[in-house]
């Protein structure tokens, strides 16, 4: 893609599993994981919103836990398992959540959505069954400028109740 | 907004890490959870020559009870501390505070040691460490030393840690069965840094309060042990008058910073409100315990 | 249903209509899979990346600019200074419109030439192999400044001791305007009761999650410039860039791929984006510029900074008689091109007190320049301010008269049967429904029960506040309003080209654009309904000047009202042609046929005769099957604009409950209600979500958002950690309902809906807070309503 000429950067060889595929690359040591995934691997589903860890647009799964892609260096993911929205989609793990987002129109511009889904997927995978306020609290590190959040909370609540067989 | 160039090293052991710190000193930044370092790297506000990534040092991990202290390894992630039965049992103050720490994705990556090492004045864990009378263990090629929390937090992002020292762990005495603790903070939005906050522990005997430790954070350059307020509480019984006296005494203990989150007057006022609310709530908590 | 009754229904009312039905968005299905394509997701061969050197000072003279070290830095392809860029453009921008007589503005170059006028103004562009390398090189630009005193405070901007930002203008005054009606002085003199207050509104910025983004691709041999850019108004950008860079319009193509939020912020022209296009032209290579969050805060337009003195005269019985406001509006260093920086103040003048029947009104605006980021249109321009001021005054009047806030509004709003009418602010209004909205809101809130609960809570020391705020909102402007008559290169009409392809598919290309509101879906619903085809047989194209008819794009809540009508008309014409071809093929009068579910049917019986696919095949390939007299077009373009109306006015009323912690000054939002009237609704769910999202955006400004400047005009909180936006944890659930009074200006009958929530939220939450504080004798008059503001109002600090 558009990575700079390697000779211009200090790089390090890394191998990681991204969405189930093993990839080996020489990555600039100063490059964030999110930049590596987007420009190095063409996985543009995760977005960049603030690059200082506030907005959550770059949320992805690193070794099983949701993290900010902008607050981790790509070289730190050496040997790690990374799952992005593309992987989450391919696995079908969040298909019900994605369908609920569409049906409830829990997104408008869609820019925050992959990060929202990565975060919500962690809630769904846990054994917690929070109420609406608890869902709001869990999602409180992901910024959405379009929806006002209610539809997002609705969609997550619907799926949570279905998965927990509460409704 | 991409980091300036740096060299990246990934020591596998404490010995290797402290050698690197000895070599690079102030030119090195230690990368633990990265939740505070990475933003300033991205913004180029921090420009270390070398980034020392300590995430693969196994000995910095874990939470354990040993030799009469709870040991929280520098690399213990916030989420591990939050879920730890050991913490819930022996350090309920930290368990109570932890849900206030940022958001899930930050807690999954951020570390206890990183929070204490950075000493952000609005952070929860430094305040808890100080309230609990804990200590930190620092190591360099010159050896290992233990620094009590009371001697550790010097000022705004300023601690007793020297540039060549690695924070290894925090050692915190378990809360005694007759110790009560409480945590409260005010932040504009859930997970934000606090603009006023109190972490406190105290003992009580037949309604009389002993050995209170009141640590204020969010409004000051560093977590502050409020000695005047503590004196106003020590040996007293719960009462609105006592609580007011404690709140009033804060004028001598606190000197809030002025920033976009509020004026010094507002922050002092809020710390007093927090004080009253925490103290008002403690008798119920005592009964529940 | 008999054929006779059926024939009387318009296509929009047919049983199988998509208009009025919730259908999901194709764009949403893409986005949840991470398969959206935003500008930064596009990579082109040989693409380079831009970073900018920006002024660290609010006001400073450039005394040295040496780019030699930067030019030779690793990976660098180009460094261009403001002066070099100025030589590549035809003329600077001038942010004035002739509809604002007397307005003054200074010419604005895309980057600093010799003097920086705001912190963040671009100084030089650095283009390199990666953004990181470009930033490395930008640090090597040797630059020296002579710092100048800055105009940082709107209240002193016109003082003689304040530096004049643009000496040629004589002073820092951008614009003054007074409007009015009736005899205001006499009305106030004779009034039973006068309430007055001074209101302050902080600066905000849009914070679209996707920042401004542009990928410029200049093909030198073809002399062709393609810009992929996160824009609401591709055709306007085409015109402006063509003029600016001296390229014929038709050689400039603008593609707006998925847009990650815009809110009015992405309808302006920005110097750094022009520099990116110029860099691509200089290099003959694609150049990408993605504004990072820090530079977004100091380069995206700001808005809302106003200080307003206001008073209202009311009779003892509660009849509003007169309103007067004096607006001081704080613009930035330049007037933003092409929409200007005075529109916000103008809107405050025209809409304040807009829901009411009073006959006496005077409103004065003074707009001043400061050494801050330029200001301009941002979602619901002026309305959050004007509504907050007007609705606060009304609540103060209610308290003074001993009336309930709901009652005083019932008493004073324009009656639903009283249209057409003209507001005291001079706006011609028709087809509004204040009374119906108030009645619906009262029911939905269960208002009486809330008041009863409030009284009980107050005894328990809980300060629950209940707010009500009526509003009007100008949507879908016409050419006789500001931009058209004012001379701007902004299209006030919009267009649809619709065609039948050989496979039977309908391609519907529109000039309005999609930023996630669901514009494409709504256009598809209108087209499918009008034509009589399944929705999945229609593909809507927007956001590409090569593929769509010239239009204004999406702004001012116009997409459905203006663009939707263009689709309706175009689809209607195509339908007529298809029926005529079908008639020729079937040897039946066109009037005896209908199109249902993608098939030509016998009208009345719905007996299927021939599919649209067959019409497409014959109309494009097997033309011999048609009589010689029939020459298919199978493609129709239709345009629509308002005629005499300035806007399609909408109205509504909001409610909110809050709890105010009178010890901490913290405000907890409990619930909100919005009843609004956007006429005919095409997609109910999407309309509701526009209201909800807009409402929360308004809450942001009311409670959290504030661009804070120090005395040197430095923005001191330009990060997302310091500039607080609404997050999920604190936002309330919002009940949304609609009154349906279609506009008569179009067949579709739709009015705008996208800004109503934003227009009313700050007013209703401020009223709710003050309702909570009223028993304590305190009043908040400043937004954002931070704990500090509330505590000061309460006298606690």
Which partners does chain C have (≥3 C-beta pairs < 8 Å)? A, B
Residues of C in Cβ contact (< 8 Å) with A87: none
pLDDT at A5 over 60: no
- Nearest Cβ partner for B105 among A51, A67, A76: A67
Residues of C in Cβ contact (< 8 Å) with B4: 135-136, 139
| B36–chain C nearest CA distance, Å | 11
pLDDT at B212 over 80: yes
pLDDT at res. B142: 97
- CA quadruple A113, A117, A119, A123: dihedral positive or negative? positive
B273 touches chain C (CB under 8 A): yes
Chain C residue whose CA is closest to A44: C41
pLDDT in tens, C584-628: 999 999 999 999 999 999 998 999 999 999 999 999 999 999 999
Chain C residue whose CA is closest to A146: C693
Q: What is the mean pLDDT of residues A16-44?
A: 98
Q: Which of A163-167, B52-56, C161-165 has the lowest mean pLDDT?
A: A163-167
Find out whether B238 and B283 touch, Cβ atoms under 8 Å. Answer: yes
List chain A domain ranges: 9-88, 92-163
What part of B 147-206 touches A (C-beta under 8 Å)? Answer: 189-191
Number of CB pairs < 8 Å for A and B?
94
B103 touches chain A (CB under 8 A): yes
Q: Which two tokens stand for residue C12?
A: 């929009």
pLDDT at res. C1: 41
Q: What are phi and psi of C541, to 5 degrees?
A: -115, 130
Tell me how far apart the alpha carbons of residues B200 and B197 are, in angstroms, rounded to a whole number: 10
Whether residues A76 and B38 touch (CB distance < 8 A) is answered with no
How does the average pLDDT of chain B come out, rounded?
97
pLDDT in tens, C41-68: 999 999 999 999 999 999 999 999 999 9
Residues of A in Cβ contact (< 8 Å) with B39: 51-53, 71
Tell me how far apart the alpha carbons of residues C428 and C474 are, in angstroms, rounded to a whole number: 11
- Nearest Cβ partner for C261 among A102, A103, A145: A145
pLDDT in tens, C88-120: 999 999 999 999 999 999 999 999 999 999 999
Tell me how far apart the alpha carbons of residues B219 and B248 are, in angstroms, rounded to a whole number: 16
With 0-12 CB in 10 A as exposed, 13-18 as middle and 19+ as buried, what is C317? Answer: exposed
Residues of C in Cβ contact (< 8 Å) with B265: 797
pLDDT in tens, C392-429: 999 999 999 999 999 999 999 999 999 999 999 999 99
pLDDT at C8 over 60: no
Whether residues B8 and A12 touch (CB distance < 8 A) is answered with yes
B47 touches chain C (CB under 8 A): no
pLDDT at res. A166: 82
Residues of C in Cβ contact (< 8 Å) with B41: none
A81 touches chain B (CB under 8 A): no
3-state DSSP of chain B: CCCCCCEEECCCCHHHHHHHHHHHHHHEEEECCCCCHHHHHHCCCCCCCEEEECCCCHHHCCEEEECCEEEEECCCEHHHHHHCHHHHHHCHHHHHHHHHCCCHHHHCCCEHHHHHHHCCCCCHHHHHHHHCCCEEEEEECCEEEEEEHHHHEEECCEECCCCCCEEEEEEECCCCCCEEEEEEEECCCCCCCCCEEEEEEEEEECCEEEEEEEEEECCCCCCEECHHHHHHHCCCECCHHHHHHHHHHHHHHCCCCCECCECHHHHHHHHHHHHHHHHHHHHHHHHHC
pLDDT at res. C15: 75
pLDDT at res. A6: 54
Whether residues A35 and B2 touch (CB distance < 8 A) is answered with yes
Q: What is the mean pLDDT of residues C168-185?
A: 98
Chain A residue whose CA is closest to B37: A71
- Nearest Cβ partner for A5 among C49, C75, C692: C75
pLDDT at res. B287: 85
Residues of C in Cβ contact (< 8 Å) with A119: none
pLDDT in tens, C300-325: 999 999 999 999 999 999 999 999 99
Higher-pLDDT residue of B152, C484: B152
Q: Where are the beta strands (DSSP E) in C592-718?
A: 593-596, 599-602, 608-611, 635-640, 648-660, 667-677
Q: What are phi and psi of B237, to 5 degrees?
A: -95, 160
pLDDT at res. B166: 98
B45 touches chain A (CB under 8 A): no
Residues of C in Cβ contact (< 8 Å) with A28: 132
All domains of chain B, ordered by start, with CATH?
A: 7-53 (3.30.43.10), 62-172 (3.30.465.10), 184-288 (3.30.390.50)
| B174–chain A nearest CA distance, Å | 28
Residues of C in Cβ contact (< 8 Å) with B44: 135, 139
pLDDT in tens, C237-284: 999 999 999 999 999 999 999 999 999 999 999 999 999 999 999 999
- Nearest Cβ partner for A47 among C130, C210, C263: C210
Find out whether B106 and A66 touch, Cβ atoms under 8 Å. Answer: no
Instruction: Place A2 in a pLDDT band, splitting at 50, 70 and 90.
Output: very low
pLDDT in tens, C710-725: 999 999 999 999 999 9
Whether residues B189 and C724 touch (CB distance < 8 A) is answered with yes
CATH topology of domain A9-88: Ubiquitin-like (UB roll) (3.10.20)
pLDDT at res. C9: 56
pLDDT at res. A8: 84
Q: C673: closest CA among C454, C414, C416, C467?
A: C467
Whether residues C135 and B1 touch (CB distance < 8 A) is answered with yes
Q: Looking at residue A37, what DSSP letter applies?
A: I
Could you report the predicted ipTM of this complex, rounded to two decimals?
0.97
Whether residues B188 and C724 touch (CB distance < 8 A) is answered with yes
- Nearest Cβ partner for B265 among C135, C706, C797: C797
pLDDT at res. B285: 87
Residues of C with CB under 8 A from a CB of B: 130-132, 135-136, 139, 292-295, 663-666, 704, 706, 708, 716-717, 719, 721-722, 724, 727, 729-730, 786-788, 791, 796-797
- Nearest Cβ partner for C791 among B4, B44, B269: B269
pLDDT at res. B75: 98
| A3–chain C nearest CA distance, Å | 7
Mutate to test the interface with A, among C27, C34, C685, C686 (most CBs of A within 10 A): C34
| C633–chain A nearest CA distance, Å | 35
Instruction: Place A167 in a pLDDT band, splitting at 50, 70 and 90.
Output: low
pLDDT at C661 over 80: yes
Whether residues A9 and C132 touch (CB distance < 8 A) is answered with yes
Whether residues C136 and B188 touch (CB distance < 8 A) is answered with no
- Nearest Cβ partner for C728 among A31, A45, A153: A153
Given this chain, do its domains A9-88 and A92-163 carry the same CATH topology?
no
pLDDT at res. C387: 98
Q: What is the mean pLDDT of residues B252-269?
A: 97
- Nearest Cβ partner for B42 among A67, A70, A138: A70
Residues 6 or more apart in contact with residue B59 via CB below 8 angstroms: B13, B14, B73, B168
- Nearest Cβ partner for C787 among B2, B190, B266: B266
SS3 C688: helix
Chain B residue whose CA is closest to C717: B260
pLDDT at res. C397: 98
Whether residues A32 and B39 touch (CB distance < 8 A) is answered with no
pLDDT in tens, B88-123: 999 999 999 999 999 999 999 999 999 999 999 999
Residues of B in Cβ contact (< 8 Å) with C791: 266, 269
Residues 6 or more apart in contact with residue C129 via CB below 8 angstroms: A2, A4, A5, A8, C48, C49, C75, C77
pLDDT in tens, B124-155: 999 999 999 999 999 999 999 999 999 999 99
Chain A residue whose CA is closest to B38: A71
Whether residues C33 and A98 touch (CB distance < 8 A) is answered with yes
| B89–chain C nearest CA distance, Å | 29
Q: C414: closest CA among C380, C379, C438, C390?
A: C438
Which partners does chain A have (≥3 C-beta pairs < 8 Å)? B, C
- Where does A92-163 sit in CATH, by number? 1.10.150.120
How does the average pLDDT of chain C come out, rounded?
97
Instruction: Place B32 in a pLDDT band, splitting at 50, 70 and 90.
Output: very high
Higher-pLDDT residue of C15, B40: B40
Tell me how far apart the alpha carbons of residues C669 and C661 are, in angstroms, rounded to a whole number: 11
pLDDT at res. C2: 47
| A49–chain C nearest CA distance, Å | 6
pLDDT at res. C7: 47
In chain B, the percentage of residues whose pLDDT exceeds 70 is 100
Q: Which two tokens stand for residue B272?
A: 């007093």
Which partners does chain B have (≥3 C-beta pairs < 8 Å)? A, C
Residues of C in Cβ contact (< 8 Å) with B266: 665, 787-788, 791, 797
pLDDT in tens, C20-36: 999 999 999 999 999 99
Q: Which two tokens stand for residue C591?
A: 């009037």
All domains of chain C, ordered by start, with CATH?
A: 3-36+493-640 (3.30.365.10), 39-150+212-290 (3.90.1170.50), 413-421+432-476+647-793 (3.30.365.10)
């Amino acid at each position: 893609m558009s990575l700079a000429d390697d000779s211009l950067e200090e790089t390090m060889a890394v191998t990681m599993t991204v969405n189930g595929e093993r990839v080996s690359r020489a990555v600039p040591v100063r490059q964030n994981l999110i930049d590596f995934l987007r420009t190095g691997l063409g996985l543009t589903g995760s977005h960049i919103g603030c690059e200082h860890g506030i907005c959550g647009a770059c949320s992805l799964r690193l070794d099983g836990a949701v993290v900010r892609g902008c607050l981790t260096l790509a070289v730190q993911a050496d040997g790690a398992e990374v799952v992005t929205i593309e992987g989450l989609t391919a696995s079908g793990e969040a298909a019900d959540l994605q369908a609920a987002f569409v049906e409830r129109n829990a997104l408008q511009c869609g820019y925050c959505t992959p990060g929202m889904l990565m975060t919500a997927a962690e809630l769904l995978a846990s054994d917690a069954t929070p109420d609406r306020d608890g869902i709001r609290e869990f999602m409180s590190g992901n910024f959405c400028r379009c929806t006002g959040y209610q539809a997002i909370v609705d969609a997550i609540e619907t799926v949570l109740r279905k998965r927990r067989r509460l409704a | 907004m991409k980091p300036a160039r740096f060299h990246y090293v990934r020591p596998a052991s404490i010995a290797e890490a402290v050698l690197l710190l000895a070599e690079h000193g102030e030119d090195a930044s230690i990368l633990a959870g990265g939740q505070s370092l990475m933003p300033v790297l991205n913004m180029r506000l921090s420009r270390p020559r070398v980034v020392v990534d300590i995430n693969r040092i196994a000995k910095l991990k874990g939470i354990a009870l040993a030799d009469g202290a709870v040991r929280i390894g520098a690399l213990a992630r916030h989420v591990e501390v939050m879920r730890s039965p050991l913490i819930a049992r022996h350090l309920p103050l930290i368990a109570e505070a932890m849900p206030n720490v940022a958001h899930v994705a930050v807690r999954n990556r951020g570390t206890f040691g990183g929070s204490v090492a950075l000493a952000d004045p609005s952070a929860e864990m430094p305040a808890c460490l100080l309230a609990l009378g804990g200590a930190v263990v620092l190591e360099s090629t010159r050896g290992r030393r233990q620094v009590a929390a009371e001697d550790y937090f010097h000022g705004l992002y300023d601690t007793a840690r020297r540039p060549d020292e690695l924070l290894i762990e925090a050692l915190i005495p378990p809360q005694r069965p007759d110790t009560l603790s409480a945590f409260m903070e005010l932040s504009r939005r859930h997970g934000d840094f606090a603009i006023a906050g109190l972490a406190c522990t105290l003992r009580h005997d037949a309604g009389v309060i002993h050995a209170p430790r009141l640590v204020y954070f969010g409004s000051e350059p560093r977590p502050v042990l409020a000695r005047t307020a503590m004196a106003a509480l020590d040996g007293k019984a719960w009462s609105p008058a006592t609580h007011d006296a404690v709140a009033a005494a804060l004028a001598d203990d606190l000197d809030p910073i002025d920033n976009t989150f509020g004026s010094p007057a507002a922050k002092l006022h809020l710390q007093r409100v927090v004080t009253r609310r925490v103290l008002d709530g403690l008798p119920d908590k005592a009964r529940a315990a | 249903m008999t054929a006779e009754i059926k024939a009387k229904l318009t296509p929009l009312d047919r049983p199988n209509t998509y208009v009025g039905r919730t259908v999901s968005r194709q764009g949403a299905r893409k986005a949840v899979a991470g398969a959206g394509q935003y500008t930064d997701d596009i990579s082109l061969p040989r693409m380079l990346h831009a970073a900018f050197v920006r002024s660290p000072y609010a006001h400073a003279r450039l005394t040295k600019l040496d780019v030699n070290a930067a030019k030779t830095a690793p990976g660098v392809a180009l460094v261009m200074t403001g002066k070099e860029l100025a030589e590549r453009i035809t003329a600077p921008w001038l942010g004035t419109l002739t509809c604002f007589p007397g307005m003054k503005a200074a010419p604005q170059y895309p980057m600093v030439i010799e003097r920086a006028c705001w912190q963040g103004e671009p100084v030089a562009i650095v283009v390199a192999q990666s953004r990181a390398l470009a930033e490395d090189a930008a640090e090597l630009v040797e630059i020296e400044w002579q710092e100048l005193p800055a105009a940082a405070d709107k209240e002193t901007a016109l003082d003689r001791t304040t530096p004049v930002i643009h000496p040629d203008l004589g002073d820092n005054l951008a614009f003054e305007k007074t409007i009015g009606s009736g005899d205001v002085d006499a009305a106030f003199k004779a009034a039973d009761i006068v309430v007055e207050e001074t209101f302050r509104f902080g600066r905000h910025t849009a914070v679209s999650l996707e920042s401004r983004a542009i990928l410029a691709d200049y093909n030198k041999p073809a002399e062709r410039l393609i810009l992929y850019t996160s824009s609401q108004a591709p055709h306007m950008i085409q015109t402006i860039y063509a003029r600016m860079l001296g390229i014929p319009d038709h050689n400039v193509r603008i593609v707006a791929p998925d847009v990650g939020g815009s809110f009015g912020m992405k309808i302006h022209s920005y110097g750094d984006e022009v520099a990116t296009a110029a860099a691509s032209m200089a290099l003959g290579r694609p150049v990408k510029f993605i504004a990072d969050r820090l530079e977004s805060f100091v380069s995206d337009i700001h808005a809302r900074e106003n200080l307003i003195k206001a008073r209202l005269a009311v009779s003892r019985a509660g009849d509003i008689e007169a309103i007067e406001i004096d607006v001081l509006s704080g613009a930035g260093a330049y007037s933003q091109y092409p929409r200007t920086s005075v529109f916000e103040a103008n809107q405050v003048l025209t809409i304040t007190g807009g829901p009411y029947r009073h006959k006496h009104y005077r409103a004065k605006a003074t707009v001043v320049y400061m050494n801050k980021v330029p200001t301009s249109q941002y979602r619901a321009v002026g309305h959050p301010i004007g509504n907050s001021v007007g609705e606060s005054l009304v609540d103060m009047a209610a308290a003074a008269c001993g009336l309930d806030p709901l009652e005083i509004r019932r008493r004073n709003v324009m009656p639903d049967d009283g249209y057409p009418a003209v507001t005291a602010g001079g706006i011609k209004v028709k087809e509004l429904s204040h009374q119906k909205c108030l009645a619906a809101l009262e029911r939905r809130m269960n208002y009486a029960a809330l008041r009863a609960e409030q009284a009980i809570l107050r005894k328990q020391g809980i300060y629950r506040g209940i707010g009500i705020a009526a509003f009007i909102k100008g949507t879908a402007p016409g050419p006789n309003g500001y931009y058209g008559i004012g001379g701007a290169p902004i299209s006030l009409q919009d267009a649809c080209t619709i065609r039948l392809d050989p496979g039977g598919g309908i391609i519907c290309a529109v000039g309005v654009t999609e930023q996630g509101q669901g514009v494409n879906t709504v256009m598809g619903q209108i087209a499918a309904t009008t034509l009589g085809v399944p929705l999945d047989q229609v593909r809507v194209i927007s956001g590409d000047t090569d593929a769509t008819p010239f239009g204004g794009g999406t702004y001012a809540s116009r997409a459905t009202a203006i663009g939707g009508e263009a689709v309706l008309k175009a689809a209607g014409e195509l339908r007529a042609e298809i029926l005529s071809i079908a008639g020729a093929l079937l040897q039946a009068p066109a009037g005896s046929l209908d199109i249902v579910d993608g098939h030509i049917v016998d009208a009345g019986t719905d007996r299927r005769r021939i599919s649209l696919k067959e019409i497409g095949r014959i109309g494009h390939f097997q033309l011999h099957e048609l009589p010689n007299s029939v020459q298919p077009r199978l493609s129709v373009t239709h345009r629509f604009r308002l005629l005499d109306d300035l806007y399609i006015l909408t109205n509504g009323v909001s409610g909110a409950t809050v709890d105010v912690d009178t010890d901490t000054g913290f405000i907890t939002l409990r619930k909100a209600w919005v009843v609004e009237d956007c006429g005919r609704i095409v997609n109910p769910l999407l309309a509701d979500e526009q209201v909800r999202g807009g409402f929360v955006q308004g809450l942001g400004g009311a409670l959290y958002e504030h661009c804070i400047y120090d005395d040197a005009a430095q923005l001191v909180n330009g990060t997302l950690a310091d500039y607080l936006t609404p997050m999920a944890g604190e936002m309330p659930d919002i009940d949304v309902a609609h009154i349906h009074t279609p506009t008569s200006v179009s067949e579709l009958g739709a009015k705008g809906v996208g800004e109503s929530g934003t227009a009313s939220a700050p007013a209703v939450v401020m009223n709710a807070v003050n309702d909570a504080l009223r028993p304590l004798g305190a009043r908040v008059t400043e937004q954002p309503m931070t704990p500090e503001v509330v505590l000061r109002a309460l006298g606690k600090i």
